[in-house]
Amino acid sequence: MKTIRTAQGLRDAVRGARERGSARVGLVPTMGALHEGHLSLVRAARRDCDLIVMSIFVNPKQFTEAVDLEGYPRQEAADAALAAAAGVDVLFAPEASELYPEGFATTVHVAGPVTETLEGAGRGPAHFDGVATVVSKLLLVSGADRAYFGQKDAQQLMVVRRMVADLGIRTDIVACTTVRDSDGLAMSSRNVRLNGEDRARATAIPRALEAVEAALALGETDVEALHARAGAVLAAAGITPEYVAFVDAHSFLPAHEIGEPVLCAIAARVGSVRLIDNTVLTLPEPSEER
């Protein structure tokens, strides 16, 4: 695995690989602190690409709280070892001044409910502007044919899909299933900051999502009733969520009933750690008449 720190270096490496016959280039964008969730993206990329580029860049533009940016885990040497073992060919780890040199003045802004609701409302507009700006730059510099994102950040995924479609960027965006620990908690770089007791309490988040899925499977399609199911599981663990939201999975407009795919998303602070998780709800298949 080769580590590259400049945009020009990445362009050259990708061009060289294409000249040597790498037909398909896959990009796995990350902010480091790699875990099984990231490695599952690499494995997905390995299945359908010839050259795997992983970026590790703690993007200052998408952090709205300075303490969160400062406290974000940085462990490049350990990450590089994990990335190499998982089959990454090129690790792109630029400094902020490389991606945002002096005079950098462009912001990519995706408008509408997809950026203004849930995470956008909670963290402010700068968050998704920062994500859209850095992802568009990474896609353009790498020239990737495919880029891999986790379904755990469902809203980020939709922002990226919208941005790529609107700007005519030719990269296919591939969504990968959320990877969970054995206790159900969605893998996140923030999980290491949970102490033992909070870690156990945090499992109420996936259990709340499961309770919603179970109620839907039994025929409950009313969003208010489903909301109450999730709320009860969280309350029992002493968690007051920032939101439990039911939105149309494509438009992010509020959903009142389960019909078209609905995203049920939860954000909550457990101790000092802010966690998010989600599930996509669809109506159960009607049972066959005998």
52 in contact with ligand PAF (CB under 6 A): no
Please say which residue, 67 or 218, places its beta carbon nearer to ligand PAF.
Answer: 67
Residue 34 in the binding site for ligand PAF (CB under 6 A)? no
Looking at beta carbons only, is 131 or 270 nearer to ligand PAF?
131
Both structure tokens of 161: 């899909």
178: contact with ligand PAF by CB under 6 A: no
What is the enclosing helix (H) or strand (E) of 75?
Answer: none
Q: Give 173's strand partners.
A: 147
- Please, which residue, 62 or 178, has the CB nearer to ligand PAF? 62
Q: Binding of ligand PAF at residue 119 (CB under 6 A)?
A: no
Closest separation between CB of residue 115 and ligand PAF, Å? 13
CB of 104 to ligand PAF, least distance (A): 15
Q: Decide if residue 136 touches ligand PAF (CB under 6 A).
A: no
Shorter beta-carbon distance to ligand PAF: residue 123 or 207 = 123
Q: What would the x/- binding string for ligand PAF be over residues 54 to 83, using CB under 6 A?
A: -----x--x---------------------
Ramachandran angles phi, psi of 119, nearest 5°: -60, -35
Contact with ligand PAF (CB under 6 A): which of 26, 29, 120, 241?
29
CA 118 to CA 156: how far, in whole Å? 11
Distances in Å between the Cα of 96 and the Cα atoms of 5, 56, 71, 189, 224 are 10, 11, 16, 20, 44
> Can 35 be counted among the known catalytic residues?
no
State how far the Cα of 273 lies from the Cα of 290, in Å rounded to an integer: 51
What angle do helix axes 204-217 and 223-236 make, rounded to 10 degrees?
150
Shortest Å distance, C-beta 160 to ligand PAF: 7
Label residue 36 left, alpha or beta by phi (over 0 means left) and psi (-120 to 50 means alpha). Answer: alpha
Cα end-to-end distance, the chain, whole Å: 58
Give the count of residues interacting with ligand PAF (CB under 6 A): 10
Active site residues: 38
